[in-house]
């Protein structure tokens, strides 16, 4: 879809003057861009906001950004801003829903980062002192 086709779809039955008034776009600017056959990203953003359309979609149609740019940014931002609980809930949702990939469901290999280690089932960390001992129930404070 090009920017003019997008404009016509968003505009619907509205006149160009009504669109300009609603979006805060100067009519002469809009006319010049229509004659040129391309709307600028700033005008598309104003129109998208005024008509409650997806601004990012408008920017993709304008060619300013790609869908991959948006997906990459959203993914990295959402992961860094997610709480531990939100991340755990998402992992659980994937496990229960059968959508978990090999990184979650596969065996742990020896290529772990240096700050992680695999603790055997019969070993417990006691008082988080960094050492591993055989589990002995008598060690726990009552």
Among all chains, which residue has been given the structure tokens 């740019």? 69
Instruction: Provide long-range contacts, Cβ within 8 A and 24+ apart, for 14-20.
Output: 19/47, 19/50
Give the pLDDT mean for 130-139: 61
As a whole number, the mean pLDDT across the chain is 82
pLDDT of residue 36 exceeding 80, the answer is yes
Rounded Cα distance, 15 and 19, in Å:
6
The proportion of the chain whose per-residue pLDDT surpasses 90, expressed as a percent, equals 45
**pLDDT at residue 142 in the model:** 52
- Which residues are within 8 A (CB) of 127 and not within 5 positions of it... i.e. 6 or more apart? none
**pLDDT at residue 72 in the model:** 79
What are the helix (H) ranges across the chain?
3-11, 16-23, 27-36, 41-50, 55-62, 67-81, 84-96, 102-105
What domains are there in the chain, each with its CATH number? 3-65 (1.10.260), 68-102 (no CATH)
Which of the two residues, 7 and 80, has the higher pLDDT score?
7
Rounded Cα distance, 35 and 117, in Å:
65
**pLDDT at residue 68 in the model:** 87
pLDDT of residue 31 exceeding 60, the answer is yes
Which of the two residues, 47 and 103, has the higher pLDDT score?
47
Rounded Cα distance, 95 and 104, in Å:
8
Q: Which of 2-6, 15-19, 20-24, 100-104 has the lowest mean pLDDT?
A: 100-104
Q: What would the two tokens of residue 9 be?
A: 């779809």
Give the pLDDT mean for 61-69: 90
Residues 56 and 70 sit within 8 Å (Cβ to Cβ): yes
Rounded Cα distance, 94 and 79, in Å:
15
Burial class (CB within 10 angstroms; exposed 0-12, middle 13-18, buried 19+) of 3: buried
pLDDT band at 34 (very low <50, low <70, confident <90, very high): very high
């Amino acid at each position: 879809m090009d920017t003019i086709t997008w404009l016509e779809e968003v505009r619907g039955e509205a006149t160009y003057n009504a669109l300009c008034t609603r979006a805060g776009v100067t009519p002469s600017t809009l006319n010049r861009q229509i004659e040129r056959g391309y709307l600028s990203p700033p005008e598309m953003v104003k129109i998208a906001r005024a008509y409650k359309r997806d601004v990012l979609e408008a920017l993709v149609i304008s060619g300013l950004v790609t869908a991959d740019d948006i997906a990459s940014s959203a993914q990295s931002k959402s992961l860094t801003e997610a709480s531990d609980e939100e991340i755990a809930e998402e992992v659980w949702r994937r496990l229960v829903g059968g959508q978990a990939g090999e990184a979650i469901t596969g065996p742990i290999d020896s290529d772990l980062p240096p700050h992680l280690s695999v603790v055997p089932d019969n070993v417990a960390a006691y008082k988080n002192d960094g050492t591993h001992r055989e589990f002995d129930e008598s060690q726990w404070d009552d």
